[in-house]
């Protein structure tokens, strides 16, 4: 059974189809059939292509997704030019897709209204040239993501080899270049590293930091039998980060295998009631601590498409948030993302 066939086993109509949504976290990539993906995560082998037709199929499946933000995924780096500038190819690639979308010929969603790409902050102040090149490549460029997730057990992916890179002087020298340009920083780390991010935020109080995927509470391998301990440590880390006003948080990413829910291994995918129930303890804690004005629901597609469909995910968010006021829900679904990523026209 293909992944699409499996996802089709659970079909739902979109709830509250007029509620405006800004999806602040998705990817775009194209891996040709001739390209070996043995060294890549399983989801890239499942979804080799996620370009404008694919994301439009998701965003136009019933919910009122008015805009999106692209987040880096090592896609379409240039093969020519200085190595440190090759990452700008990703911004150029996504800006082309955004321009297609802005033509209005591909539906109502403004795809990639904001672009978050990679820049190697370990270059120190020299990364300023890279950031300037990203900004020149697209008026939609809003900031950078440097995934510094590191796991001591080796059971889940470590993007870096330095466990405390966020404290590294050279990294921080590069980080300072973001603030000089009014750019934001997306952070993908695990729950064990939340304290490090707090230290970075305190050192740069005027730079906006967005924590991705609720801060990565791992639920597989050696962590699977320690859920109470993991959750307690995660809660402490989230509570500390919430005291720092320059941090916002994305509510999503729970479909990733490392979160430990095992949805992609089931005979049929979860429905929105299943998702809302499973996500509730995590989402509630984040909203209670950060407040709706610093929280934003995210899809993390197509990565999370391994576990559920776009319609089902946003239905789950809508069911979870029913007890919130209209203004709070507007923030969670749209306004926080638009403000944080400066998407106002």
pLDDT given for residue 163 in this prediction: 87
**DSSP letters along 148-178, please?**
----TTSSS--S-S-TTGGG-HHHHHHHHHH
Tokens 């379409």, located at residue: 76
pLDDT given for residue 239 in this prediction: 98
pLDDT given for residue 329 in this prediction: 98
CA 279, 281, 286, 288 dihedral sign is positive
Residue 147's SS3 state is: coil
**Full pLDDT tens readout for the chain, 345 residues:** 899 999 999 999 999 999 999 999 999 999 887 777 676 666 667 788 999 999 999 999 999 999 999 999 999 999 999 999 999 999 999 999 999 999 999 999 999 999 999 999 999 999 999 999 999 999 999 999 999 999 988 888 888 888 899 999 999 999 999 999 999 999 999 999 999 999 999 999 999 999 999 999 999 999 998 999 999 999 999 999 999 999 999 999 999 999 999 999 999 999 999 999 999 999 999 999 999 999 999 999 999 999 999 999 999 999 999 999 999 999 999 999 999 999 975
Cβ neighbourhood burial of 123 (10 Å; 0-12, 13-18, 19+): middle
pLDDT given for residue 40 in this prediction: 67
CATH top-level class of 3-8+20-340: alpha beta
* Backbone torsions φ then ψ of 203, nearest 5 degrees: -75, -25
CA 171, 175, 176, 181 dihedral sign is positive
The CA distance from 117 to 115, in Å, is 6
Pick the closest to residue 161 from 149, 170, 173, 153 (CA basis): 149
Locate all alpha helices (DSSP H) within 138-271, ordered by sequence.
169-180, 194-203, 227-242
pLDDT given for residue 161 in this prediction: 86
Phi-psi region of 240 (alpha: psi -120 to 50; beta: other; left: phi over 0): alpha
Cβ neighbourhood burial of 139 (10 Å; 0-12, 13-18, 19+): exposed
The CA distance from 239 to 237, in Å, is 5
The CA distance from 234 to 144, in Å, is 24
Structure tokens at 311: 């319609």
Q: For residue 23, what are the β-bridge partners?
A: 68
Return the DSSP state at 189: -
pTM, rounded to two decimals:
0.96
């Amino acid at each position: 059974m293909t992944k699409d066939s499996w996802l089709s086993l659970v079909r739902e109509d979109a709830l509250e189809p007029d509620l405006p949504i800004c999806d602040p976290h998705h990817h775009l990539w194209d891996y040709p059939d001739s390209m070996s993906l043995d060294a890549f995560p399983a989801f890239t082998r499942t979804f080799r292509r996620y370009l404008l037709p694919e994301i439009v199929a998701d965003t136009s499946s019933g919910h009122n997704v008015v805009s999106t933000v692209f987040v880096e995924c090592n896609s379409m780096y240039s093969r020519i030019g200085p190595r440190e500038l090759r990452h700008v190819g990703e911004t150029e690639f996504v800006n082309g897709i955004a321009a297609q979308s802005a033509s209005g010929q591909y539906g109502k969603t403004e795809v990639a209204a904001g672009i978050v790409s990679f820049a190697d902050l370990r270059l120190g102040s020299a990364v300023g040239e890279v950031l300037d090149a990203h900004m020149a490549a697209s008026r939609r460029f809003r900031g950078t993501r440097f995934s510094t997730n590191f796991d001591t057990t080796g059971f889940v992916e470590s993007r870096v080899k330095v466990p405390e890179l966020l404290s590294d002087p050279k990294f921080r020298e590069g980080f300072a270049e973001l603030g000089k340009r009014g750019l934001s920083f997306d952070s993908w780390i695990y729950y064990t590293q939340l304290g490090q991010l707090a230290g970075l935020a305190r050192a740069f109080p005027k730079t906006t930091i967005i924590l991705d995927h609720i801060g990565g509470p791992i639920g597989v391998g050696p962590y699977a039998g320690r859920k109470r301990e993991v959750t307690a440590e995660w809660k402490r880390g989230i509570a500390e980060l919430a005291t720092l006003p320059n941090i916002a948080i994305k509510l999503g990413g729970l479909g990733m295998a490392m979160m430990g829910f095992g949805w992609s291994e089931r005979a049929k995918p979860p429905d929105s009631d299943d998702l809302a129930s499973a996500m509730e303890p995590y989402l509630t804690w984040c909203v209670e601590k950060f407040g709706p004005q610093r929280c934003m629901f995210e899809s993390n597609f197509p990565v999370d498409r391994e576990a559920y469909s776009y319609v089902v995910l946003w239905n789950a968010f809508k069911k979870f948030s029913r007890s919130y006021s209209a203004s709070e829900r507007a923030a969670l679904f749209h306004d926080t993302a638009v403000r944080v990523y400066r998407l106002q026209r």
